[in-house]
Structure 1
Amino acid sequence: MTTEVAGSTAPGLPQGQTAPTLADELLPEAELVEPPQGPAAPAGVPRWWLAVVLVLVSINLRPALSSVGSVLEELMRDTGASAAFVSVLTTLPVLCLGAFGLAAPPLARRFGTERVVLVTLLAMAAGLALRLFPSFLPLIGSTVVAGAAIGIIGVLMPGLVKRDFPKHASLMTGVYTMALCAGGALGAGATVPLAKAFDSWPAALAFWAAPAVLAAILWWPSIPKRRADQPKPVQYAVTGLWRDRLAWQVTLFTGLQSLLAYIVFGWLIQILRDRGLDAMTAGLTVSGSVLAQVPAALIVPILAARRRDQRGMIILIMTIGLMGMLGCLFAPLSTVAFWALLLGIGQGGNFALALLTIVLRSPDSHVAARLSSMAQSVGYTLAATGPFATGLLHSWTGSWDSVALLYLGVTIAGMACGLGAGRARHVNVTVTPLPQRTTVSGA
């Protein structure tokens, strides 16, 4: 059976669709990762233990990204790295998120989700350990390996949440989101104290391999045994998505808000240090900004989903984020904590709105999964230009004023795309179930 999905206007939510829960908003990839009847964790592993290890794994998905910005000044001083090299260093992990995230669903179907998570956790730990060696090749290698691991696990984790906690998916997704933010805050806020404690910034960066190893050890008991009779999920072909204007508006909105976020991840600590804050205060300020994303990511989608469309909310939240960033760049240092919190609220809300538009612009979960994959692959590639352009602009001009213009321009472009993505419409695609092949496998 082939289903035509039109791109007509929908009055508020699509007909027959209730307001999405937080789980619905954050878990569009779940269907591609595990069949609903797929194997859960082995018998005897309690749900509370699964919740603990899921949180620990999730915390590990951000320190590799947020920790480097804390010691950029020391890294450039001790390695003689140019601004161009540092720009590459802050750009590569974002590129890897998009490129390797696309490989996650087929890897999970071939080897099992839990096994892929275990291997990538260990790969992440090995990559982070390379940061003990402060030279070009180890730093680049570490960045690529860690970024690839984060990209793969980041796609797989939501599916596990939806499968293992079907009755508490909203709660666990909120916990998962908070764990991500907590990991980002830890990386930004704890790296400088660790560098002082170790008297070595490479050791502080490599330290984040330790929680990855711990997560892998605790993850091991959750790996299920393979079953020969495990049913395979039904696969669907979705055609027309890459030619649809609305799909591109959702994709570009997702990518542009990510671009703004990774400018902050990669450079805000250094910006605040150049303005006069000491390294520890700058790290704690950005850490607080990341933590402020938590309530915004929880509340904004709930409010936005109740509206006929999301255009007004997108403009409001992007404006809040812009005000916060401009405050961090130009407001008196005595008020920078306030502006950092405002920035965090804007970025957390933008992230949630991007995920929400993927769900609301999709008529069913099959389309949502494909639209999410499109938005991730293109969006992260686009987002990678943000940290790179920031470093180059500062190198060319010797001032952060040019970065303010960049941030303003990207925000305006994001608003323009958001006005399209926020309309109450569906993408225009065709959904066709693929024939199932009967195979006998002992794998």
Structure 2
Amino acid sequence: MNNDGISSTLNNSTKNSWLLLIGVILVGANLRVPLTSVGALISFIRDDLAISNALAGFITTLPLLAFALISPFAPKIANRIGMEWTIMLSLVVLIIGIVIRSLSGIGFLFTGTLFIGLAIAIGNVLIPGIVKMNFPLKIGLMTGIYAIFMNIFGALGSGLSVPIASIGNFGWQGALGVWGALTMVSLLIWLPQLSKRRNQKTNVKTEKKEKSNLWRSPLAWKITIFMGGQSLTFYTLITWLPDILHSNGYNLNSAGWMVFLMQFALIPFTFIIPVIAEKMKNQVGLSVATALLFMIGFVGLLQGSPALVPVWVILLGIAGGSAFSLSMMFFTLRTKDGKEAAELSGMAQSFGYLLAAVGPVLVGALQDITGGWTIPLFLLILLSVVLLIVGIASGREGQVTDGIDLYPAKAVVKQ
């Protein structure tokens, strides 16, 4: 190959790497904003469609149930048609869901919401595998980059929904539908990745093993519980923190700003923690610090001093950002390849988001039964102890397959 050919190959490689980087960032940006944008508009939707508060609340619960339903199947779909094609199809489904949800009518609202939940679940599961396969030496950096864009756009969705709805005749339908433009751009940027599966085909016949069963791995279960615990904590706080603060003397407007402060505090740590975690021999110290911050924050809320609430909220935000990032890093650091990372991600997120869907309901029921927030906060403190235990185990150096026979059948070699 002459110098011009070598130069052309290097230029194409650099171009493809940048397109993949931008594609991962844009896919990450779509993983929160379709959900967070609806939260600020719940009252508009409820009044316009004349639905109850319980039915309106189901708008945020339905995607979490969809996450739990589809997450275990995302790796199986990806194994059949490829990760790149599966993510492309998820973006198409996401666009369809956003369009349907933006039409008038209760049926369209919930059908579109279900489509959105299914699409986002696939992206949640597969992006860690994409990162491990394509950026094996920069896992922490790439995880931090897509996580921070995911949370920034999630915050933008919360903050911009009402102003957009107030523009002309946009209303809540337009405010929800406008994010379809972001998904469309993401799809166009992602299209060049579809050639990879074809290019990676090989004529070499290799060993064929039975599929691994990560559900038999104790470490995989500990990572799953860690993922589920942090998801439950985050969505419970998003749901009930305003009411908890209101009971401590905050008005609802100020309580809303405290929720914003918590989300703002977690953003930088979704970038910092993965970069630090990748450089450490193990992540036990980070897991311990994360659990302790949760404990301190919840004990602070239990103490009830209004003047110190911003401190407790910031600590909970830092803990939430750290816990989420550690979960994403465990998917890649504790697996041997991108396929296994996607399988662990699917397992953990299925269970995790099922817990996340149950958590706010359980905490709300405890408040109804006891008439206060003391018992629910004690429950969250107990959950922090569980996160400490499984976080220490998940943070130790090793892989989910170590010492466990996840391949019960013998490998068959093709001649």
> Which amino acid is 2:149 matched to?
A
> Which amino acid is 1:435 matched to?
V
Aligned identity (percent) is: 33
Q: Which moved more, 1:362-371 or 1:176-185?
A: 362-371
Question: What corresponds to 2:231 in structure 1?
Answer: 258
Q: Kindly provide the CA deviation profile for residues 73-95 of structure 1, in whole angstroms up to 9, marking residues without a partner as x.
A: 44444444444334433222122
Question: What corresponds to 1:386 in structure 2?
Answer: 359
Which structure has the highest helix share of the two?
A: 2
What is the deviation of 1:326?
Answer: 6.5
* CA–CA distance in structure 2, aligned partners of residues 180 and 49 of structure 1: 18
Question: What corresponds to 2:5 in structure 1?
Answer: none
Aligned pair count reads: 396
Contact (CA 8 Å) 1:130, 1:138: kept in 2 or not? yes
The equivalent position to 1:230 in structure 2, one of 201, 205, 218, is 201
Q: Does 1:102 align with 2:72?
A: yes
Secondary structure (helix, strand or coil) at the match of 1:435 reads coil
In structure 2, the CA distance between the partners of 1:216 and 1:359, relative to structure 1 (3 Å rule), is: closer
Contact (CA 8 Å) 1:69, 1:269: kept in 2 or not? no
Question: What corresponds to 1:209 in structure 2?
Answer: 180
Q: Which moved more, 1:72-81 or 1:85-94?
A: 72-81
Superposed counterparts of 1:53-72, under 5 Å: 53-72=23-42
Contact (CA 8 Å) 1:255, 1:379: kept in 2 or not? yes
Q: Does 1:200 align with 2:171?
A: yes
In structure 2, the CA distance between the partners of 1:114 and 1:309, relative to structure 1 (3 Å rule), is: closer
Contact (CA 8 Å) 2:298, 2:381: kept in 1 or not? no
Secondary structure (helix, strand or coil) at the match of 1:430 reads coil
Question: What corresponds to 1:117 in structure 2?
Answer: 87
* CA–CA distance in structure 1, aligned partners of residues 159 and 167 of structure 2: 14
With structure 2 as the length reference, what TM-score do the two structures score? Answer: 0.76
What is the deviation of 1:303?
Answer: 5.4
* CA–CA distance in structure 1, aligned partners of residues 21 and 335 of structure 2: 29
Gaps of 5+ in 1: 1-41, 439-443
Q: Does 1:435 align with 2:412?
A: yes
Question: What corresponds to 2:323 in structure 1?
Answer: 350
Secondary structure (helix, strand or coil) at the match of 2:40 reads helix
Secondary structure (helix, strand or coil) at the match of 1:230 reads coil
> Which amino acid is 2:182 matched to?
P
With structure 1 as the length reference, what TM-score do the two structures score? Answer: 0.72
Contact (CA 8 Å) 1:68, 1:266: kept in 2 or not? no
> Which amino acid is 1:375 matched to?
A
Contact (CA 8 Å) 2:291, 2:384: kept in 1 or not? yes
Secondary structure (helix, strand or coil) at the match of 2:405 reads strand
* CA–CA distance in structure 2, aligned partners of residues 243 and 177 of structure 1: 29
* CA–CA distance in structure 2, aligned partners of residues 323 and 115 of structure 1: 44
* CA–CA distance in structure 1, aligned partners of residues 272 and 406 of structure 2: 32
Contact (CA 8 Å) 1:115, 1:223: kept in 2 or not? yes
Superposed counterparts of 1:43-442, under 5 Å: 46-133=16-103, 135-165=105-135, 168-197=138-167, 200-224=171-195, 227=198, 230-231=201-202, 236-237=209-210, 241-268=214-241, 275-278=250-253, 286-300=259-273, 310=283, 313-324=286-297, 337-357=310-330, 370-390=343-363, 392=365, 403-422=376-395, 428-432=403-407, 434-435=411-412
